[in-house]
Amino acid sequence: MSRTLMKGNEALARAAIRGGCTHFFGYPITPQNEIPEYFARELPKAGGLFLQAESEIAAVNMLYGSAAAGAQAMTSSSSPGLALMQEGISMLAATEIPCVIVNVMRGGPGLGTIQPAQSDYFQMTRGGGNGDYRILSLAPATVQESAEMMEESFALAQKYRTPVFLVSDGLLGQMMEPVQFDRHTKKKRAGNKRWILTGHHHRRPPRTIKSLRLDPAKLESHNLELQDKYGRISRRETRFELYRMNDAELVFCAFGSTARIVKNSIDDLRQKGCRAGLIRPQTLWPFPVQPFKTLPESGKAVICVEMNCGQMVDDVRLAVEGRMPVHFYGRCGGVIPEPAELSEYALELLTGGAA
Amino acid sequence: MQNERILCAGFGGQGVMSLGKLIACAAMLDGREVTWMPSYGPEMRGGTAYCSVVVADRPVGSPIVTTNATSLIVMNLPSLDRFEQSVVPGGLILLNRSLIDREVGREDVVVHALEATTMAAQCGDPRAANMIMLGAYMALRGTPRHRHVEEAFSLVFGSGSSTSFNLNRKALRCGFDSVSAEAVIRKAA
């Protein structure tokens, strides 16, 4: 099995083609540009279509149209670009269109910076679009995991007829790491295609895809069906990794690239005699509540570390349900925390220094 | 084996990104865990450029080494000014004497200086100064393995012309051999 040194962004694009992606629509934005660059070069060779749209709004609506016609389509952008797509994402959720949307997060709000951040946790789990909807959000922490989750995302989208978010960031997208593509060859499932719009040619009843339902009873029952599906996704697809959690007294929670940095701190803290561990959500929605319900008895406190001003910490607090104190440590604006500052914060916390 | 955290810095066009990629790729071929992380801010549009490389025996956590480098490979003066303090005590600063006309101020690091740009010009092209630095790095650190670096040439640059391959190979050898000839200027106390 050979390892290839690849940028996270390139690995995402390559894995998407392996996962069955046939159509890509997007508009350039740093730090995700290697993704459309790769697709522009490689997708036509694989028999697919690459199209650079005139804006993110156009891109998400092209995604909507092509996936409604049965394409395995995706788009990719970074934070402010995702903000522009929110209306379309609400439509995709309402009409249950399977597709994949990549967010290589950068610092915000507004145009912010092109440097890495995780300040779109809310955007990726609460949505900026209207209505009661949820999007399955996969959050890799390595280039290998980026490839594996990306490849699988198309099957998940088809399985549940839902848009899927792949949540990366500037750090994970720009860095290179060895990746193996032969390690993971899941056959893509075709899924039920009896809803796609391909023209009835007077041989079958016409099909309609729409989000407008003016009859309250009909819209309510549609919502309940969606909620039922979100329940199934929560039960079956919630994922997390535990790192050195067995006897942990200090429980870190972090996702994506921040989780990598936290692992360094945990190893460092363990050498200093402080038993630290990590709960790493691999799905942001559904959020893994279970490991917080079964925290080890040794546990004294939870520290949520994010590259933002405190977003996932809300979900951590809901999951911990007041069983122990939950602290937050964040850096933002493109500043990346260092393992040493996290260790320092943790040790201060244990000795009663930090708030 | 020790974990190695390398910072490669210079100005755009000196090949510091490629230098870092070659080390990461060759170390991967050596069987080690690696990461490479570029500066992708305004630097990409000109001015100073740098990249972080981590080589370890276990999966790498933070890929950023701008504050705790065990080796700094530095190609020009502004980069030395910026990153001199980023090296841990006992670490290595490998510098391109051709473009850096001051001494390293620190007493607690190993410094090795070589006329990389001049030596590369003698090999046929001053743009191969990064290969001179890479050769010297390999000689000083004993890693990554020579044949893996040569294998990494085609993986990183693609199957380019044999002219550039031969130039890179020659410059690499020249940098490697210069280390045994030159003395390490200053050792850690």
Question: Number of C-alpha atoms within 13 angstroms, CB side, residue A270?
Answer: 17
* Rama region for A310: left / alpha / beta (φ>0; ψ in -120 to 50; rest): left
Would the pLDDT of A286 be above 90? yes
User: Which chain B positions have a beta carbon within 8 Å of A178's beta carbon?
Assistant: 28, 33-34
| Range name among A58-62, A346-350, B135-139 with the lowest pLDDT average | A346-350
- Phi/psi at A73 (nearest 5 deg)? -105, 155
Q: What is the mean pLDDT of residues A195-208?
A: 94
The model's pLDDT over B69-112, given as tens digits with 9 standing for 90+, comes to 999 999 999 999 999 999 999 999 999 999 999 999 999 999 99
- pLDDT score recorded for residue A352: 79
Helix (H) or strand (E) run with residue A223 in it: helix A216-237
Determine whether the interchain pair B34/A5 forms a contact, defined as Cβ–Cβ distance below 8 Å: yes
Residue B135 within any structural domain of the chain:
yes
Burial-class residue A288 by CB neighbours within 10 Å (0-12, 13-18, 19+).
buried
Rounded distance between C-alpha atoms, residue A260 and residue A8, angstroms? 14
Q: Predicted ipTM? A: 0.93
Q: How confident is the model at residue B46 (pLDDT cuts 50, 70, 90)?
A: low
A54: pLDDT strictly greater than 80 = yes
The DSSP secondary-structure symbol of A346 reads H
Distance from CA of B53 to the nearest CA of A (A): 9
Rounded Cα–Cα distance for residues A36 and A50 (Å): 8
pLDDT value, residue A43: 98
CA quadruple A303, A309, A313, A315: dihedral, nearest 10: -160
Round to whole Å and give the CA distance between B77 and B113: 13
**Predicted pLDDT of residue A23:** 98
Answer whether residue A24 shows pLDDT above 50: yes
CA pair distance B38, B53, nearest whole angstrom: 9
- Whether A267 sits inside 8 A of B61 (CB atoms) is yes
Test B34 with A177 for CB contact under 8 angstroms: yes
Residue A335 has pLDDT above 70, yes or no: yes
pLDDT at residue number A186: 59
Beta bridge partners of residue A326, listed in sequence order: A302
Q: Please list, in sequence order, all residues whose beta carbon lies within 8 angstroms of the beta carbon of residue A37, skipping any fewer than 6 positions away.
A: none
User: Which residues numbered 37-96 in A keep a CB inside 8 Å of some CB on B?
Assistant: none
Best residue of A168, A175, A270 to probe chain B, by most B CBs closer than 10 Å: A175
Check whether the bond before A31 is cis (ω within 30° of 0). Answer: yes
Rounded CA-CA distance A302/A295 in Å is 10
Distance CA A329, CA A309 (A): 8
- Give residue B184's pLDDT: 47
Upper half-sphere CA count for residue B121 (Cβ side, 13 Å): 4
A108 lies within 8 A of chain B by CB: no
B20 found inside a domain: yes
Confidence of residue B187 (pLDDT cuts 50, 70, 90): very low
Closest chain A residue to B152, measured at CA: A5
A174 vs B40, B60, B68: nearest CB: B40
Interface test with A, best of B21, B40, B153 (most A CBs within 10 A): B40
Evaluate if residue B186 carries a pLDDT over 60: no
B-interface mutation test, from A10, A41, A177, most B Cβ less than 10 A away: A177
Strand partners, A26: A52, A76
Between chains, do B24 and A176 touch, taking CB under 8 Å as contact?
A: yes
Residue B188 falls within a domain, yes or no?
no
pLDDT tens-digit readout, B117-163: 999 999 999 999 999 999 999 999 999 999 999 999 999 998 777 88
Q: Which residues of B touch A31 (CB under 8 A)?
A: 40
- Confidence class of residue A189 from pLDDT cuts 50, 70 and 90? low
Q: In what order do the strands lie in the sheet with B87-96?
A: A4-7, A176-179, B33-38, B48-56, B4-11, B69-74, B87-96, B110-114
pLDDT at A182 over 80: no
The answer to whether the Cβ–Cβ distance between A338 and B64 falls below 8 Å is yes
The span from the CA of A64 to the CA of A101, in Å, is: 11
Write the CATH number for B23.
3.40.920.10
Label residue A239 by pLDDT band (50, 70, 90).
very high
Let me know if residue B125 belongs to a domain.
yes
CB-based burial label for A257 (10 Å; 0-12, 13-18, 19+): buried
The mean pLDDT of A188-217, rounded to a whole number, is 89
Check pLDDT > 90 for residue A205: yes
Tell me the C-alpha distance between A324 and A321, whole Å. Answer: 8
pLDDT at A355 over 60: no
How many Å is the maximal CA-CA distance in chain B? 46
Query: If you measure CA to CA, which chain A residue comes closest to B63?
Result: A175
Q: B52: domain range?
A: 4-181
**Best CA proximity match to A99, nearest among A137, A63, A145, A151:** A63
Spell out the domains of chain A, with CATH numbers in brackets. 4-237 (3.40.50.970), 240-350 (3.40.50.920)
Residue A3 forms contact with B (CB below 8 Å): yes
How many domains are there within chain B? Answer: 1
Answer whether residue B66 is part of any domain: yes
The answer to whether residue B49 sits within a structural domain is yes
Tens-digit pLDDT profile for residues A70-97: 999 999 999 999 999 999 999 999 999 9
* Count of CB atoms situated within 10 Å of the CB of B167: 18
A153, A100 contact by CB (below 8 A): yes
Distance, in Å, from the CA atom of B153 to the CA atom of B18, rounded to the nearest integer, reads 9
Residue B189, in any domain of the structure: no
Nearest residue in B to A173, CA atom = B37
The verdict on residue B187 lying in a domain is no
**What 3-state class would DSSP assign to A114?**
coil
Backbone angles phi, psi at B113, to 5 degrees: -115, 140
Q: What average pLDDT does the structure give for chain B?
A: 91
Instruction: Kindly tell me if the per-residue pLDDT of A223 is higher than 50.
Output: yes
Q: Which of B:54-73 have CB within 8 Å of A?
A: 59-64, 67-68
Q: How much is the mean pLDDT over chain A?
A: 95
Of A3, A176, A261, the CB nearest to B36: A176
Q: Which residues of A touch B62 (CB under 8 A)?
A: 260-261, 264, 336, 338-339
Average pLDDT value for residue range A302-330: 97
Find out whether B25 and A6 touch, Cβ atoms under 8 Å. no
Which pLDDT belongs to residue B189?
Answer: 39
Size of interface A-B (CB pairs under 8 A): 61
pLDDT value at residue A187: 58
Q: Taking Cα atoms as reference points, which of A111, A109, A103, A105 lies closest to residue A85?
A: A103
Tell me phi and psi for residue B178, to 5 degrees: -65, -25
Q: What is the pLDDT of residue B188?
A: 42
What pLDDT score does A300 carry? 94
Query: Residue A11 pLDDT more than 50?
Result: yes
Specify the DSSP element, H or E, that contains A215: none
